[in-house]
């Protein structure tokens, strides 16, 4: 689909995938109001007032977390350095602290006796 779109979309010096009709960079507010919000409403992804539930930052957070999460949990399990590069962070600490979510340890690697020590 992207290949087909690329052949049809307006040409630009910046070689953008989703340019404006004149080939320039699309404004964030236009993307949100004309694309993201209507798509969520059409899909029923709404809050209690019937408004779109998520913003662009929520999608970025989801993507980052999906990249980091274990495959067993539905994630891609990418190395944090790869995720840092994809998100454009200058510091790996920023990536880890912002998007890394600690998991509760299921104790799978502990012996039965060790698990007893940590039981609550």
pTM for the full predicted model = 0.61
Q: Which two tokens stand for residue 4?
A: 């087909």
For residues 89-101, b (16+ Cβ closer than 10 Å) or e, as one string? beeeeebeeebee
Query: Over the stretch 61-95, which tens digit does the pLDDT of each residue have?
Result: 889 989 998 899 899 999 999 999 999 999 999 99
Q: Where are the domains of the chain?
A: 1-54, 55-103
Rounded to whole angstroms, the Cα distance separating 58 from 48 reads: 18
């Amino acid at each position: 689909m992207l290949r087909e779109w690329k052949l049809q979309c307006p040409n630009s010096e910046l070689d953008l995938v989703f340019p404006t009709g004149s080939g320039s960079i699309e404004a964030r507010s236009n993307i949100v109001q004309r694309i993201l919000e209507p798509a969520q409403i059409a899909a029923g992804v709404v809050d209690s007032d019937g408004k779109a539930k998520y913003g662009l930052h929520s999608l970025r957070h989801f993507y980052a977390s999906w990249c980091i999460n274990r495959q067993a949990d539905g994630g891609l399990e990418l190395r944090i350095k790869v995720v840092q590069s994809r998100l454009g962070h200058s510091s790996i600490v920023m990536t880890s602290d912002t998007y890394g979510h600690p998991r509760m340890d299921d104790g799978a690697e502990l012996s039965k006796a060790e698990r007893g020590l940590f039981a609550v």
